[in-house]
Structure 1
């Protein structure tokens, strides 16, 4: 029994490590695309008096995707903005309980938000909703937002489990 649990944990860690790399690569590609769109748009405006058509629309869609693509990474690394005014006077055991409760609430909230966003994506697909200028189907991005919320929720719940076993990974803050 113990060996099977150990193998399950190893598989989980291996998958999480590769998924971490994939999300970083995806976020890097989005960031590079944003940079490229901005450069082409600025050069087009000032050198040719012709801006890149739909650059604002692409920037909006890619920026939203970048934020949601990095949300699971930020959660895993515990890099959210936090105010720790009372952390120096609260005992460590209470901080662990507080953090676990917080992560559980975040996980439940993001699962709920993910389902709501998924419903919006389904409705967007049903109505064939597209962006204003480039006519890009919006539901692709909306489905991605929902999936990202669910991945972040799972990450929050996994943080509760790893904290319960006092497990700390190299890529966590």
Structure 2
């Protein structure tokens, strides 16, 4: 039984590391795309009086993709904005308990939000919603947002386990 659990943890860690690399790569590509679109749009607008058609739509879509693709990474690395004025006075066990309660609350919230967003994606697909100028189907991004909400929720629950087991990974903050 211990061998089975050890193997499951090992496979989980390898899969999580692969997913971490994929999300970082996706986030980097999206950020590069946003930068490229902005540069082309600004140069076209001010030098040639010809802005990039659909740049506003692409920026909106890519910005949503950027934020949500980085959310699981930020959660895993524990890099959310926090105020830690009192942390030096609070005992470690109390901090761990507090962090676990917050992570469970975050996971619960994101599971619910992911479900709502998934419903919106299904509706968007049913109604064949597209963007105004470039006619990009909206549901692709909406499904992606729901999946990343669920992935972040799972990440929060894994953080509860790692905090409880007092395990720290090299790519965590």
TM more than 0.5: yes
After TM superposition, the runs of 4+ consecutive aligned structure 1 residues lying more than 6 A away are: none
Deviations along 1:6-41, one digit per CA (max 9) or x if unpaired, are 111110110111110000000011011111111111
Match of 2:18 in 1: 18
Q: Distance in 1 between matches of 2:122 and 2:86?
A: 44
TM-score normalised by L of structure 1: 0.98
Deviation at 1:47, TM superposition (A): 2.3
Match of 1:151 in 2: 151
State the number of aligned residues. 173
CA RMSD across the alignment: 0.7
Q: Distance in 2 between matches of 1:89 and 1:48?
A: 60
Deviation at 1:96, TM superposition (A): 0.5
TM-score normalised by L of structure 2: 0.98
Deviation at 1:46, TM superposition (A): 2.1
Deviation at 1:135, TM superposition (A): 1.0
Deviation at 1:99, TM superposition (A): 0.5
Unaligned residue ranges in structure 1 (runs of 5+)? none
Match of 2:170 in 1: 170
Unaligned residue ranges in structure 2 (runs of 5+)? none
- In the alignment, structure 1 residue 35 sits paired with structure 2 residue 35: yes
